[in-house]
Chains A and B, each alone.
Chain A
């Protein structure tokens, strides 16, 4: 059988994800930092949901067994969504910042997580 690419931006195969899971890099936050999935130009728009599907099916089988995998369904969610939505050119940001009217920064005193 040929290779199955999970993350096209960073060229990560499905097998590499399973191997990382076996080594204990078990939640998505850790998995993406270990394998690189979802850290490329599309920031996971193509691969992270597929990865969640793998985690979900493993959590189901591992709830009975006790493998070093995260069996907690509450941990199966996307990482924090961060800007920019699409890659932004630095020169364009500089220009936008210079033409923007003076903006107030939000002042948020309490934790939001």
Chain B
């Protein structure tokens, strides 16, 4: 049987559910979300969940700043505790190049209303007692950064969306998608067919595969990133600690676990999400170096998820010429969760009014054909 929807959203992650919620709040009816696994089975449920405003490009600083404002009120708005804890973000600076970068970008962040400041020596240990400062020149610190529980964000969005009439179908994998002769979109799944005049492609690292079925070429690549979690420890670490140079990040969850990971520049592109001992060796070394007492803590689980890498590590957002009614948001390159609230707000604005409250033309898919890409230097891992 074919289900006709006004808006069909592909992807039950933070962008799909957030978009459904924002559209429903704007009065759109007959919205269906389809998800290939369970809610959050993709990158949203596997991410480090850091919410950071320390960015190099104004576009990212603004997306992050606005998203933090939304995250700050989201528990109340959704009537679901998303466990957003603003313990701050502490970016360690290990060499002159990084020092120059943060010295140049902190004024940009400050001008845009993000209260980042540069700390040295005991100022750093005050924020993160027990941290090893060997080799650390300074640290950029933003007290407004934090961490949320990704599943709680997803469930909160899903329940609020359902209350507004959104239908969410899980374990519904897309097998075929195409534009029909009448301009609507037909999507086949293992559990039935869908037709909708408006389709939102927010399927994480698989967005490009859905787009390819429709005839749209998106130049993103899936890249595995691994994470590990320790047993619960007494609370001792407030901020998320990250390093651009070493590629690691970690924070302490409200359950006391240290959750974090480290990137691997040699990781090949694939959909593989298995775990490796190599990651555990490198991450364990980084953790013990940064917090020597953590040597005594134990890892209880590691896992992996996919970054949807775009050529300039910036998101792809908007419409595609010649495909009326088609919208997408992808290529988040490891920082989708932190800017998602603003991204889904913009998507809902775009779909309902054709306009957005901040310019998004720099995130258009067409930029890749034009060349001259700018990459944000603050991408970790």
Check if B363 is an interface residue, CB within 8 A of chain A: no
Inter-subunit contact B281/A112 (CB<8 Å):
no
Q: How far is the CA of A30 from the CA of B271 in the complex (A)?
A: 22
A34, A82, A83, A111: the one contacting B272 at CB < 8 Å is A111
**Does A64 count as interface, using CB distance less than 8 angstroms?**
no
CB distance from A36 to the nearest CB of B (A): 8
Asked if A105 lies at the interface with its beta carbon under 8 angstroms from chain B, I say: yes
Does B39 contact A30, Cβ atoms closer than 8 Å? yes
* Stretch of B64-72, B297-305, B310-318 on the interface side: B297-305
B79 within 8 A of A: no
Segment touching A, from B283-291, B323-331, B366-374: B283-291
Q: B263-287 CB contact bits vs A (8 Å, 1 = yes)?
A: 0001010111111111011101101
- A82 and B295 in contact (CB under 8 A), knowing A107-B268, A110-B271? no
**Which residue on B lies nearest to A10, using beta carbons?**
B255
Q: Flag if B298 contacts A103 (CB, 8 Å).
A: no
What range describes how many residues of B lie at the interface?
35 or more
Which of A34, A91, A94 is packed against the most chain B CB atoms within 10 Å?
A94
A20 CB to closest chain B CB, in angstroms?
11
Chain A min CB distance to B266 (Å): 8
Known: A97-B281, A97-B282. A89 touches B298 (CB 8 A): yes
| Chain B nearest CB, measured from A84 CB (Å) | 6
Picked from A41, A93, A97, the residue with its CB within 8 Å of the CB of B231 is A41
Is B284 touching A97 in the complex (CB atoms < 8 A)?
yes
Complex contacts, B171 vs chain A, CB 8 Å: 27, 72, 75
Q: How far does the Cβ of B301 sit from chain A's closest Cβ, in whole Å? A: 5
Docked CA distance A30–B35 (Å): 14
Contacting residue for B299 out of A87, A105, A109, CB 8 A: A87
Provided the pairs A90-B230, A109-B268, A110-B270 are in contact, do residues A96 and B38 lie with their beta carbons within 8 angstroms? no
Contact bitstring A1-42, B, C-beta under 8 A = 1, else 0: 000000000000000000000000101011001101001110
| Chain A residues near B282 (CB-CB < 8 A) | 97
A residues less than 8 Å from B45 (CB atoms): 33
Q: Report chain A residues within 8 Å CB of B63.
A: none
Residues from 58 to 89 in A contacting B, C-beta threshold 8 Å: 72, 75, 80, 82-84, 87-89
Taking the closest CB of chain A, its distance from the CB of B156, in whole angstroms, is: 12
Q: In the bound complex, how far is the Cα of B297 from the Cα of A84, in angstroms?
A: 14
A108 within 8 A of B: yes
Chain A residue contacts of B185, Cβ below 8 A: none
Q: Report if A80-B303 is in contact (Cβ < 8 Å); known contacts: A34-B155, A111-B271, A111-B272.
A: yes
CB of B244 within 8 A of chain A?
no
**Chain A residues, CB < 8 A from B295:** 89-91, 94
**Among B266, B272, B275, B297, residue most surrounded by chain A Cβ atoms (within 10 Å):** B272
User: Which residue among A80, A89, A96, A110 has the maximum number of chain B CB atoms within 10 Å of its CB?
Assistant: A89
Q: How far is the CA of A29 from the CA of B40 in the complex (A)?
A: 10
In the complex, B89 has a CB within 8 A of chain A: no
Complex CA gap A18/B251 in Å reads: 32
B78 within 8 A of A: no
Say yes or no: B299 contacts A93, CB within 8 Å.
yes
Task: Write out the residue numbers on chain B whose beta carbons fall within 8 Å of the beta carbon of A106.
Answer: 276
Is residue A51 within 8 Å, beta carbon to beta carbon, of the partner chain? no
Closest to A105 in B: B278
Known contacts A30-B39, A91-B288: does B299 contact A108 (CB below 8 Å)?
no
In the bound complex, what is the Cα–Cα distance between A109 and B45 (angstroms)?
23
Whether A82 and B275, one on each chain, are in contact in the complex, defined by CB atoms closer than 8 angstroms, is yes
Given contacts A82-B301, A108-B270, A112-B274, contact A93 B281 (CB under 8 A): yes
Closest 8 CB pairs of A and B: A97-B281, A91-B295, A87-B298, A111-B271, A93-B284, A108-B272, A90-B284, A33-B151
Chain B interface (Cβ within 8 Å of chain A)?
37-41, 45, 151, 155, 170-171, 230-231, 255, 266, 268, 270-278, 280-282, 284-285, 287-288, 294-303
Please list the residues of chain A having a beta carbon within 8 angstroms of any beta carbon in chain B.
25, 27, 29-30, 33-34, 36, 39-41, 43, 72, 75, 80, 82-84, 87-91, 93-94, 96-97, 100, 103, 105-113
Enumerate 30 A-B pairs (CB-CB under 8 Å) in ascending A order: A27-B38, A30-B38, A33-B40, A33-B45, A33-B151, A34-B151, A34-B155, A36-B255, A43-B300, A82-B302, A83-B302, A84-B300, A84-B302, A87-B231, A87-B298, A88-B299, A89-B297, A90-B287, A90-B288, A90-B296, A90-B297, A93-B280, A93-B281, A94-B288, A97-B282, A105-B266, A110-B271, A110-B272, A111-B271, A112-B272
